[in-house]
Amino acid sequence: MSTILRHAVASVLALAVLFVLAAGPVLAQETYQMPPDDLSKLVDAPITPGVSLSPDQRLMLLMHQPSLKSIAELAEPELRLAGIRINPRNNGPSRSSGYVKLTFKSLDGGGERPVTGLPDDARIRNVRWAPDGQHVAFTVDLTERIDLYVADVATARARRLMDTPVNNAFWGAPYEWVSDSKTLIVRGIWPSRNVAPEKPLAPAGPIIQENLGEKAPARTYQDLLKNPYDEEIFAYYMTAQVMRVSLDGAVKPLGEPGMVMSADPSPNGQYVLVETIHRPFSYLVPAYRFPNRIEVFDLDGNLVKEIADLPLAEGVPTAFGSVPTGIRSISWRADAEATLYWAEALDGGDARAEAEYRDQIYMLKAPFDAAPTPLVKLPLRYAGMTWGDDDLALVNESWWSTRKRRTYVVDPSKPGAEPRVLFDLSFEDRYNDPGYPMTRINDHGAYVLRTADGGGSIYMTGTGASPEGNRPFLRKLDLETGNTEELFRSQAPYYERPITLVDDSGMKLMTIRETNTEPPNFFLRDLGSDTPMAVTDFPHPYPELAAIHKESIQYQRDDGVPLSATLYLPAGYDAERDGPLPAFVWAYPREFKSADAAGQRRDSPHQFKRVSYWGAVPYVTQGYAVIDNASMPIIGEGDAEPNDTFREQLVLNAKGAIDEGVRRGVVDPERVAIGGHSYGAFMTANLLAHSDLFRAGIARSGAYNRTLTPFGFQAEERLFWEAPEIYYYMSPFMHVDKVNEPILLIHGEADNNSGTFPLQSRRYYNALKGLGKTARLVMLPHESHGYRARESIMHMLWETNRWLETYVKNAPPREDMKVEGPTGDE
């Protein structure tokens, strides 16, 4: 080796050593860490089964949930195409969990009957009862395919229904029961499908997009198509064959294969409504905005009627309440044999346009050869419909900017007649919320209004928000007079929610009941008796934490707006004896147009002490006072927009929570952390920049630069170019220089939530680092907006606990600490 070469190699090695030494703690790759036992036990605590009632409401199906996925499972192949995430190995959704076991349980008592005949490694999803209640269908996710199974209720024995795997790449279940309970309409993978297209080694040319002056604003969607190969692979995995499948396994294809989003049989079982997307695709919007052909087929696969062929919807305005033009929200009338209904915009779909009427509801009856029948015009935007019978239906409308919500009573037999207002209120006003109507399953297996008094009354159930906390109710509402009769209301010390009426007399009610110390369980209640009968006996998931103190607290911020939160204190803690504790505040901001609505309670003092691993509550086990779900209302009354004073109101809210903890003697104001997820992370970064209330922050999966979401974000409707000062004012990234507290940033590397690109946390951390702030960035591999892998959750808890221990619990007193509010105008 020459002297020059030896010197060159030595220089390179020396530089490498210096680089490693200098960068060591920053660039070192951590392995997954485990938190203290009290925290890790929360992750592995048993999960209460899901419950589904049979159509005749005599049986419960208990759906047992698995423990968390491993990071190896989360690292399986995944395609991210047009807003959809697909597991290419089995042509289903990636990251799905499902259930691992099914059991039947009679409401009349007796033991559980496990469903047998399932593969050992089955992951069960899309569970549906047959209309007659004699079978239950579900899909079973395997490594290389997804199969459709049915279980015979009488024997609790399951079997695979057909050899063809299903295509579950699109949203929702890949099958629907026909009303005869002997047939299913299935989206399947036809055996003649070829292998997936291979990605070309070199592109055929540049990727070009062009706009010729048309407005096409779009929110910051993720996982969009990016190139011609994405288009090909998307079409491959989305393409399905609609099939009619009998319980004996006979299969009949209906129509040609296509990118079928949904295939829904009519209530009488004679037709199938099929929605299929097609080209041209878009690189700007997700799949649900792609061109969509709506057709009706008969059960022999013959095309009966093309209802519409809707174009690509790239130009939908971003204002809340804007919608695509043409047919939308099309479905079958639940109370009719075969009648379609849908909404169409009368204002061009633009919520900012002036219009006397916003939407029109149409109906179209089989054989679909007449003109659609206009049913009702709506002054606001259509928001759903509940059918009763030929003489009764309820239509909902709402409007975001005014927070208005209305429900109308309509007579479907009198199309065009003036609807009668049943409810007219603000959807922010929880105290006056009348609830929502109860439904029942009709002979076709569809849900219709549960009526009483010959159709003159309906049953309503709701959360029953009140100044004392939520008290769920069941009421009978007279449709003519509007008078109500309260049949049931949750009473202390219980928090009890109505689930369904289980008899036609309206006197037998199934509820789910819990207390501060008892986990939720199902009960049968005779409304003429005060003593309910327990149906389930789910155990306490973490009995070792039963002694933790939980309390609903109310307080005010300095301008008089009422606030609330849930306070958790460690087991055995006594404020007089032990003194104030380090504290952890966890919150999520919400926008309101009314200060009265913002101050309403949103909790119950009698709900079970859930100490899940997700938010701040777990750290009560580590000696912190936790102020959970602290109210963070952002109010803009009249012509004012809530975000015009976003920062100032955040600080008022946070100061109110801390002051209440101090007043109670349980919070040390010099040792308080703030944390939140998503918009709560955005809140956290803002509070650290614009107040000195906190010693540290925990910000998970947030967005910090609002100029990267220029077409609106959260509840902000103004575009960046309409209100650039608001985007600057609200962006923590623009105010990094004012952060003087340590902040821990955690983000999933595969975040698919609109606006919270992983880039947001990376660039915010780089800004913090560049200005010499104390910060740590943890990017969780393969995780999305919510974290799913056991290793990731454990590591998240470890990181958070370490940060709190270092910068909050063991923080030295700071001189001249400010707790009075914002740091000043900027």
Q: Which of 743, 740, 555, 816 is nearest to 666 (CA)?
A: 555
Spatial contact of 567 and 609, defined as CB atoms under 8 Å apart = no
- Catalytic residue selected from 278, 540, 549, 785: 785
3-state DSSP assignment of residue 332: strand
Spatial contact of 484 and 476, defined as CB atoms under 8 Å apart = yes
Degrees, nearest 5: CA angle 130-132-134: 70
Prior bond to 758 cis, omega within 30?
no
Integer Cα distance of 434 and 477 in angstroms: 10
3-state DSSP assignment of residue 231: helix
3-state DSSP assignment of residue 675: strand
What is the b/e burial string over 174-210, where b = at least 16 CB atoms within 10 angstroms of the residue's CB? bbbbbbbbbbbbbbbbeeeeeeeeeeeeeeeeeeeee
- Catalytic residue selected from 40, 564, 678, 691: 678
Q: Does the annotation count 135 as an active-site position?
A: no
Spatial contact of 619 and 800, defined as CB atoms under 8 Å apart = yes
Q: How far apart are the first and last CA of the chain?
A: 62
Spatial contact of 251 and 243, defined as CB atoms under 8 Å apart = yes
Spatial contact of 168 and 142, defined as CB atoms under 8 Å apart = no
Spatial contact of 71 and 32, defined as CB atoms under 8 Å apart = yes
Q: 160 exposed, middle or buried (CB, 10 Å; 0-12, 13-18, 19+)?
A: middle
What is the b/e burial string over 689-709, where b = at least 16 CB atoms within 10 angstroms of the residue's CB? bbbbbbbbbbbbbbbbbbebb
Q: Tokens representing 766?
A: 């780089």
Spatial contact of 612 and 621, defined as CB atoms under 8 Å apart = no
**How far, rounded to the nearest angstrom, does the alpha carbon of residue 329 sit from its chain's CA centroid?**
20
Q: Does the annotation count 121 as an active-site position?
A: no
Spatial contact of 85 and 78, defined as CB atoms under 8 Å apart = yes
Integer Cα distance of 458 and 437 in angstroms: 7
- Catalytic residue selected from 691, 751, 761, 782: 751
Q: Tokens representing 105?
A: 């349980």
Spatial contact of 784 and 814, defined as CB atoms under 8 Å apart = no
Spatial contact of 305 and 368, defined as CB atoms under 8 Å apart = yes
Q: Tokens representing 551?
A: 């309390």
Q: Does the annotation count 678 as an active-site position?
A: yes
Integer Cα distance of 536 and 57 in angstroms: 15
The amino acid sitting at 23 is: A
Q: Which of 796, 799, 555, 807 is nearest to 694 (CA)?
A: 807
3-state DSSP assignment of residue 421: strand
Degrees, nearest 5: CA angle 457-524-66: 115
Residues serving a catalytic function are 678, 751, 785
